[in-house]
């Protein structure tokens, strides 16, 4: 469906209600949610729809928590954008003058160390690496000890991408968080990266990751590559886990704080 056409339709043509519903479903809202929105649209038009969505998103904006020594644990499925998001946020703090360290807890994937190292070189951020095949918990333990001894204040911990259906990998993640919290301060934020191109798969991802490690915030990625941004709204309605950031490209600057008004506008804008 051509979204520009939908945009004309916003200027109200009643007979196009059906394509409005189709647009909503294609935008990731899901069937029930879309039907409900259509009802609201019929009563009051697009302005009411936007207000309805904004109401649902009450409380969805969250500032990243900052402690004296902050540790940010990034989790998510394979290829969702964990490492890139760490690079972006780390670079933001580095430019602000903070002492930033990246720790590579992905000891599994070939090239994981090299990839984080490249981001480290590009941003001037130090990277703590283990060896491929090492236990991720012990690499992270060593990395955090290293950080503590050298006065790092913003520590980003990367983890291997894992399918949420793989029970042993979810157990590994649990263990990683336990190792950190037993030996150091509590993790400041446990962030789940939500690849917005994943659509309805995101439900089972959130279910499994939050069960394993109690997610404190989402980092939305690839909003530039999806036609389904709407999914984030029922996701918030269901889980009430706030959104920290949203990213819209591969380079270091392509991200910003999540803003619910901007987000709702984005859903209803042509691209």
Residues that bind Mg ion (CB under 5 A): 82-83
**Cα 223 to Cα 136, 197, 234, 244, 259, distances in angstroms:** 30, 8, 16, 14, 13
- 80 part of the interface to ligand GTP, by CB under 6 A: yes
Q: Give the residue with the Cβ less far from Mg ion, 37 or 127.
A: 127
- 161 part of the interface to ligand GTP, by CB under 6 A: yes
- 45 part of the interface to ligand GTP, by CB under 6 A: no
Structure tokens at 192: 């789940």
- 248 part of the interface to ligand GTP, by CB under 6 A: yes
24, 34, 53, 106: which one binds ligand GTP (CB under 6 A): 106
Q: Which residues pair with 263 in a beta bridge?
A: none
In the complex, the smallest distance separating the C-beta of residue 191 from ligand GTP, rounded to whole angstroms, is: 11
Q: Can you give 78-146 as a three-state secondary structure string?
A: CCCCHHHHHHHHHHHHHHCCCCEEEEEECCCCCCHHHHHHHHHHHHCCEEECCCCCCCHHHHHHHHHHH
By CB under 6 A, which span of 93-101, 125-133, 203-211, 245-253 interacts with ligand GTP?
245-253
Report the C-alpha gap between 92 and 103 in whole angstroms. Answer: 17
- 247 part of the interface to ligand GTP, by CB under 6 A: yes
Among ligand GTP, Mg ion, none, what does residue 221 contact (CB within 5–8 Å per kind)? ligand GTP
- 83 part of the interface to ligand GTP, by CB under 6 A: yes
In the complex, the smallest distance separating the C-beta of residue 17 from ligand GTP, rounded to whole angstroms, is: 33
CB 113 within 8 A of CB 229: no
DSSP 8-state secondary structure symbol assigned to residue 59: T
Q: List all residues 6 or more positions away from 183 whose beta carbon is below 8 Å from its beta carbon.
A: 141, 144
- 114 part of the interface to ligand GTP, by CB under 6 A: no
Q: x/- string (CB under 6 A) for ligand GTP, residues 163-202?
A: ------------------------------x---------
Q: Give the residue with the Cβ less far from ligand GTP, 106 or 189.
A: 106
Report the C-alpha gap between 49 and 9 in whole angstroms. Answer: 14
- 261 part of the interface to ligand GTP, by CB under 6 A: no
Strands laid side by side in the 217-221 sheet: 126-128, 100-105, 154-159, 70-75, 189-195, 217-221, 243-247, 255-257
Among Mg ion, ligand GTP, none, what does residue 208 contact (CB within 5–8 Å per kind)? none
- CB count in 10 Å sphere of residue 190: 23
Q: Is 191 helix (H, G, I), strand (E, B) or coil?
A: strand
- 226 part of the interface to ligand GTP, by CB under 6 A: no
67, 114, 207, 224: which one binds ligand GTP (CB under 6 A): 224
28, 30, 81, 105: which one binds ligand GTP (CB under 6 A): 81
* Binding stretches for ligand GTP (CB under 6 A): 76, 78-84, 106, 109, 161, 193, 221-222, 224-225, 247-250, 254
């Amino acid at each position: 469906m051509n979204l520009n056409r939908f945009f004309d339709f916003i200027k109200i043509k009643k007979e196009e209600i059906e394509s409005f519903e189709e647009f909503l479903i294609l935008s990731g809202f899901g069937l029930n949610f879309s039907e409900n929105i259509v009802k609201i649209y019929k009563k009051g038009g697009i302005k009411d729809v936007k207000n309805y969505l904004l109401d649902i998103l009450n409380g969805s904006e969250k500032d990243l928590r900052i402690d004296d020594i902050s540790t940010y644990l990034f989790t998510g499925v394979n290829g969702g954008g964990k490492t890139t998001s760490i690079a972006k946020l780390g670079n933001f703090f580095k430019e602000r003058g903070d002492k930033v360290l990246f720790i590579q807890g992905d000891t599994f994937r070939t090239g994981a160390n090299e990839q984080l190292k490249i981001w480290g070189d590009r941003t001037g951020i130090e990277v703590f690496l283990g060896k491929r095949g090492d236990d991720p918990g012990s690499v992270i333990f060593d990395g955090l000890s290293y950080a503590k001894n050298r006065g790092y204040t913003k520590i980003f911990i990367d983890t291997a991408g894992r399918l949420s259906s793989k029970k042993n990998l979810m157990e590994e993640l649990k263990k990683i968080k336990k190792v950190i919290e037993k030996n150091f301060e509590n993790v400041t934020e446990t962030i789940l990266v939500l690849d917005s191109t994943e659509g309805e798969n995101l439900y089972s991802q959130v279910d499994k990751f939050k069960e394993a490690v109690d997610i404190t915030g989402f980092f939305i990625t690839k909003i530039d590559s999806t036609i389904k941004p709407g999914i984030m709204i029922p996701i918030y309605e269901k889980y009430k886990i706030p959104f920290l950031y949203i990213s819209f490209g591969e380079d270091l600057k392509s991200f910003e704080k999540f803003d619910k008004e901007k987000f709702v506008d984005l859903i209803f804008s042509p691209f």
